[in-house]
């Protein structure tokens, strides 16, 4: 089995704020990320797929096909978006990078049929990154 990881970039903004918390709790939990005006990130997305190399091409997947799919499902949807308002995925969820990572994984896993999507890693800053492999990827 070969694992291929492809890297993409997009920018988006969000406000970390939960309607289930009071204003004081939101400020305590989310700090400066609870700014009413929101804040943005230049995200780095890594998508890992896996499979056996095609005997004719020697490749696990057609990179142009993968790029096109990630572009349509993720980059066009989230690049330069205000996640709280522009992304239907976060209607009742706080648009944390954790939730964004899970959402991207499920979008790609459900729609990309050429090879399985094994992992999504989303870097928010040089200090924070999040990785999701689906429920079956959990360690006990």
Active site residue 124: yes
Active-site option among 46, 73, 98, 124: 124
Active site residue 33: yes
Active site residue 80: yes
What tokens were used for 134? 């689906």
Active-site option among 25, 33, 88, 131: 33
Active-site option among 25, 39, 72, 80: 80
Residues designated as active site:
33, 80, 124
């Amino acid at each position: 089995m070969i694992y291929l990881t492809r890297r993409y970039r997009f920018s988006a903004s969000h406000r970390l704020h939960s309607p289930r918390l009071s204003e004081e709790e939101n400020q305590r939990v989310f700090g400066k990320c609870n700014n009413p005006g929101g804040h943005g990130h230049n995200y780095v997305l890594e998508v890992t797929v896996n499979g056996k190399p095609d005997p004719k091409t020697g490749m696990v997947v057609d990179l142009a096909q993968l790029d096109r799919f990630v572009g349509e499902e993720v980059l066009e949807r989230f690049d330069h978006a205000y996640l709280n308002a522009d992304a239907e995925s976060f209607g009742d969820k706080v648009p944390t990078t954790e939730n964004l990572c899970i959402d991207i994984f499920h979008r790609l896993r459900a729609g990309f049929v050429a090879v399985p999507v094994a992992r999504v890693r989303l870097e928010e800053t040089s200090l924070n990154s999040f990785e999701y492999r689906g429920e079956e990827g959990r360690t006990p």
